[in-house]
């Protein structure tokens, strides 16, 4: 159908005095109100005309499919004959990106099953419980992941000209299934392309009464060199053991990326079943050793000397050029260097043992098997998985910053939703857009084909 819209406006300007800002300001204010009025008018006119068509027998039953009146089990009625059934007493209010629109709902009565129902929801594909449009849900979830709780409230108000209570915002985001974004990467192709994996976690403060610390953990696949991370999942208050089980249950069996790089947090070794080998983050190792030496009561100068030693030992450079062009002598040289470095770490362990630095000794004993994995792998497969988790740490810091702001007021589920949204937006922005495009389902079934604006000045 075609709906003709006529808009007539009277604009008052003060002769000789008005400035450009006043004109623009007036139009801007008006623009939103016009948008709301036109949308409301189009919806109501469309509703009216469709009811007319349906009741004259010129409509199609598929426009207003409804549950059969007598059948509680949700059997669809295919009746195609209707009578007018008056208006619903209560208007239906929709939250849209322009503001709120209230629509009087027209009802029809099905001549086959006798059901009386409002046509607008089936006609416009609006789900029964939904009070907000897809667009405003997208806006709110994007806002929620970017700002603190209270500020997201304010921000949404200014964007949408309406005030959405923070509890509503929270409910929308927490209820959605955001795992779709990490689940979709569990294909053979994606896992096959991983040159490594990374895992990291960060603590957060729980709601006021609870004094225990919660944790948020992330596992990533690494693709095409260390620059591209693919989120495999984010978890709130789950042990590494539970995380390992979750990933194993979803990933393609038999595919193991060559190396998992971790900072060595307790329990992380559970993840080793997901990959072939484990690498301790080469940035973290000296820092962690420093902490244990400090705990063992080692003086600062001595401590710094040992840290310098360890940093020097684990730093093994490999040639940048194509692996195939590297001579066998060169490879042998690097192999020897790894051997010597391993011996050097073992010497350090002995020194610590002799001096009674028990904490530092145990730490290095546990770490030594995972300090040179990436070099071994380079010799074996010709490319180097990431030596450190520094590119993931940047994301973790971002997460931590947001959690600090919202942590006190968000429950675990909201926190998880926020983290999932943030990951999806950072690492899979196309998938994020596609997800909303699917929900919006824009296919050009409504368009404004022409409009005309004319002006005439009248002296007052
Ligand atoms: Zn019916």
Ligand 1 centroid to residue 103 C-alpha, Å: 24
- Cα angle, residue 42 at apex, residues 38 and 47 outer, rounded to 5°: 150
In sequence order, the 6+-apart residues with CB closer than 8 A to the CB of 248 are 273, 274
In sequence order, the 6+-apart residues with CB closer than 8 A to the CB of 167 are none
pTM reported for the whole predicted model: 0.80
Ligand 1 centroid to residue 415 C-alpha, Å: 44
23, 44, 69 from 61: Cα distances, Å = 49, 20, 15
Same domain as 154, residue 105:
no
pLDDT in tens, 25-53: 999 999 989 999 999 999 999 999 999 99
Query: Is 424:431 a contact under the CB 8 Å cutoff?
Result: yes
Ligand 1 centroid to residue 61 C-alpha, Å: 9
Ligand 1 centroid to residue 441 C-alpha, Å: 27
Dist CA 28 CA 35 (whole Å)? 11
Domain assignment present for 254: yes
- Report DSSP state, residue 457: -
Per the structure, how many domains does the chain have? 3
Domain containing 243: what range?
180-411
Same domain as 153, residue 193:
no
Ligand 1 centroid to residue 93 C-alpha, Å: 26
Ligand 1 centroid to residue 74 C-alpha, Å: 12
Ligand 1 centroid to residue 55 C-alpha, Å: 13
3-class DSSP state for residue 298? coil
- pLDDT score, position 313: 93
Residue of 37, 41, 92, 62 lying closest to 53 (CA atoms): 62
3-class DSSP state for residue 34? helix
Same domain as 109, residue 158:
no
Domain assignment present for 383: yes
Ligand 1 centroid to residue 82 C-alpha, Å: 8
Domain assignment present for 223: yes
Query: Is 121:103 a contact under the CB 8 Å cutoff?
Result: no
- pLDDT score, position 258: 92
Dist CA 102 CA 71 (whole Å)? 31
Same domain as 139, residue 119:
no
Structural domain ending residue among the three candidates 99, 123, 147: 123
- pLDDT score, position 47: 97
Domain assignment present for 283: yes
Ligand 1 centroid to residue 452 C-alpha, Å: 43
Same domain as 298, residue 386:
yes
Ligand 1 centroid to residue 113 C-alpha, Å: 4
Ligand 1 centroid to residue 56 C-alpha, Å: 16
- pLDDT score, position 290: 94
Q: Give the residues of the chain that fall short of pLDDT 70.
A: 71-73, 147-164, 166, 207-209, 225-227, 405-410, 460
Ligand 1 centroid to residue 80 C-alpha, Å: 8
Domain assignment present for 203: yes
Ligand 1 centroid to residue 79 C-alpha, Å: 5
Same domain as 264, residue 147:
no
In sequence order, the 6+-apart residues with CB closer than 8 A to the CB of 385 are 195, 196, 222, 226, 257, 258, 259, 261, 279, 374, 377
- pLDDT score, position 151: 57
Domain assignment present for 281: yes
Domain assignment present for 422: no
Same domain as 186, residue 170:
no
- pLDDT score, position 460: 65
Same domain as 162, residue 266:
no
Structural domain ending residue among the three candidates 396, 411, 426: 411
- Report DSSP state, residue 244: H
Same domain as 359, residue 275:
yes
Same domain as 278, residue 391:
yes
Same domain as 148, residue 88:
no
Domain assignment present for 426: no
Same domain as 205, residue 64:
no
């Amino acid at each position: 159908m075609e709906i003709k819209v006529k808009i007539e406006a009277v604009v008052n300007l003060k002769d000789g005095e008005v400035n450009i800002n006043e004109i623009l300001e007036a139009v801007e204010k008006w623009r939103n109100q016009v948008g709301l009025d036109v949308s409301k008018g189009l919806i109501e006119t469309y509703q009216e005309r469709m009811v007319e068509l349906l009741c004259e027998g010129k409509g199609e039953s598929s426009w207003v499919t409804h549950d059969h009146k007598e059948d509680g089990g949700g059997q669809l009625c295919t009746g195609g004959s209707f009578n007018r059934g008056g208006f619903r007493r209560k208007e239906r209010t929709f939250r849209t990106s322009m503001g709120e629109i209230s629509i009087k709902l027209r009802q029809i009565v099905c001549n086959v099953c006798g059901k009386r129902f409002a046509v607008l929801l089936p006609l416009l594909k609006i789900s029964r419980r939904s009070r907000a449009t897809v667009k405003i849900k997208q806006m709110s979830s994007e806002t929620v992941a970017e700002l603190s709780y209270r500020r997201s409230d304010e921000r949404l108000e200014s964007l949408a000209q309406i005030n959405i209570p923070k509890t509503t915002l929270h409910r929308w985001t927490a209820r959605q299934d955001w795992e779709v974004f990490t689940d979709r990467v569990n294909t053979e192709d994606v896992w096959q392309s991983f040159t490594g994996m990374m895992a990291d976690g960060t603590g957060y403060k729980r709601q006021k009464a609870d004094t225990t610390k919660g944790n948020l953990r992330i596992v990533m696949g690494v693709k095409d060199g260390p620059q591209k991370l693919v989120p495999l999942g984010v978890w709130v208050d789950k042990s590494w053991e539970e995380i390992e089980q979750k990933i194993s249950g979803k990933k393609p069996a038999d595919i193991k990326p060559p190396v998992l790089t971790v900072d060595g947090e307790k329990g992380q070794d559970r993840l080793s079943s997901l990959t072939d080998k484990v690498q301790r983050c080469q940035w973290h190792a000296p820092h962690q050793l420093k902490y244990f030496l400090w705990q063992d009561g080692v003086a600062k100068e001595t401590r710094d000397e040992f840290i310098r030693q360890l940093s020097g030992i684990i730093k093994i450079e490999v040639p940048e050029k194509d692996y195939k062009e590297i001579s066998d002598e060169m490879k042998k040289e690097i192999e020897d260097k790894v051997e010597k470095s391993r011996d050097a770490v073992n010497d350090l362990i002995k020194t610590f043992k002799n001096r009674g630095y028990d904490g530092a000794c145990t730490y290095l004993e546990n770490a030594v098997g995972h300090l040179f994995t990436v070099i071994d792998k380079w010799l074996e497969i010709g490319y180097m998985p990431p030596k450190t988790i520094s590119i993931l740490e940047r994301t973790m810091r971002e997460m931590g910053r947001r959690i600090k702001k919202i942590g006190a007021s968000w429950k675990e589920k909201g926190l998880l939703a926020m983290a999932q949204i943030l990951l999806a937006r950072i690492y899979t922005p196309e998938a994020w857009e596609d997800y909303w495009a699917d929900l919006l389902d824009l296919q050009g079934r409504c368009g404004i084909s022409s409009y005309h604006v004319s002006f005439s000045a009248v002296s007052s």
